[in-house]
């Protein structure tokens, strides 16, 4: 057998080696996975694209054309109308500052509670943790009448403080649960060394422990932000004047008894989605890191 034929046989055997077959199989598997993920992405993104085109239509186009048809004459004036005439600028500002205040308050209080439960030794720590976890099982709607009566007695009806208190109280259990898994992974040796150096408990929390929780902060911030921004029931129940309404309730301004401006409603919904969408895209990597960091102990 000549040397050239031997080399050809070696090349042929290499091309059909188990390693090559596994490489081809993995490529096919990844291609199939990317195809499935691409289809899922289309189903996730399409409603946003549809809502954008819906916000550029008139009432005649909404009811006269196919729901999937593009607007013949895009009504960009819908956005100007809702921002100026529909008072959406005020509702948008209310949504921003109420959401920010409630998120900050929730994160700070949840950090206090989690630090006290995981890092301090006291008799009723497990009982207190259990009471907070019970809050996850309480249906939101079952609390509306008691809360309304309570806020009415202390004169907080039609006051944004009632909304901030409600958001903070209902978000605390889930926030504590997420932080709890992360705090249990933090090494105690750092805090013990700080105690040996004469560091107070307050300095340990604010200068050592709290900065170490930044990976999970993005996760709890975006979760709280989405809930607070999209919440409707509390605002609709406790707020009656326009000066304190948020975007979710303000969209009702374009729903009338005899006429509903569907294009303006679409523009309002689009405006309400954009800030959360931007925040989620900006913090998406941090969210995954925070969830992964708190999922494994040790």
**How many structural domains comprise the chain?**
1
pLDDT tens digits along 96-116: 999 999 999 999 999 999 988
In a domain, 21, yes or no: no
* Average pLDDT score over the chain: 82
What is the span of the domain harbouring residue 136? 86-293
C-alpha closest to that of 203 among 215, 212, 216, 194: 194
In a domain, 71, yes or no: no
Q: What is the pLDDT of residue 123?
A: 84
C-alpha closest to that of 62 among 260, 272, 270: 260
pLDDT tens digits along 27-60: 787 788 888 989 998 888 888 888 898 888 888 8
Provide the token pair at 291: 């969830």
Task: Give the chain's residues under pLDDT 70.
Answer: 1-22, 65, 255-259, 284-298
Q: What pTM was estimated for this model as a whole?
A: 0.79
Q: What is the pLDDT of residue 216?
A: 85
Q: What is the pLDDT of residue 5?
A: 55
Provide the token pair at 245: 């309404």
In a domain, 5, yes or no: no
**CATH of residue 281:** 1.10.3720.10
């Amino acid at each position: 057998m000549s040397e050239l034929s031997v080399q050809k046989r070696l090349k042929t055997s290499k091309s059909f080696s188990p390693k090559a077959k596994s490489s081809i199989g993995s490529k096919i598997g990844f291609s199939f996975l990317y195809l499935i993920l691409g289809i899922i992405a289309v189903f996730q993104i399409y409603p946003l694209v549809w809502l954008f085109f819906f916000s550029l239509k008139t009432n005649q186009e909404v009811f006269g054309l196919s729901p999937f048809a593009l607007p013949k004459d895009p009504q960009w004036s819908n956005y100007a109308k809702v921002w100026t005439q529909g008072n959406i600028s005020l509702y948008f500002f209310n949504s921003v500052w109420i959401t920010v205040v409630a998120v900050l308050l929730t994160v700070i209080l949840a950090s206090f509670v989690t630090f006290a439960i995981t890092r301090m030794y006291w008799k009723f720590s497990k009982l207190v943790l259990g009471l907070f976890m019970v809050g996850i099982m309480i249906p939101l709607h079952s609390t509306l009448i008691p809360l309304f009566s309570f806020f009415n007695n202390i004169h907080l009806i039609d006051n944004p403080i009632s909304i901030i208190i409600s958001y903070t109280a209902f978000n605390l259990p889930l926030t504590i649960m997420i932080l709890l898994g992360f705090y249990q992974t933090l090494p105690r040796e750092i805090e013990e060394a700080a105690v040996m150096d004469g560091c107070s408990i307050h300095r340990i929390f604010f200068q050592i422990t709290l900065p170490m929780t930044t990976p999970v902060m993005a996760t709890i911030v975006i979760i709280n932000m989405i809930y607070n921004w999209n919440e409707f029931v509390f605002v609709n129940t406790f707020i009656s004047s326009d000066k304190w309404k948020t975007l979710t309730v303000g969209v009702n301004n374009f729903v009338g008894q005899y006429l509903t401006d569907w294009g303006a409603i679409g523009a309002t919904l689009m405006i309400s989605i954009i800030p959360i969408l931007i925040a989620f895209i900006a913090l998406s990597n941090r969210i995954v890191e925070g969830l992964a960091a708190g999922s494994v102990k040790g």
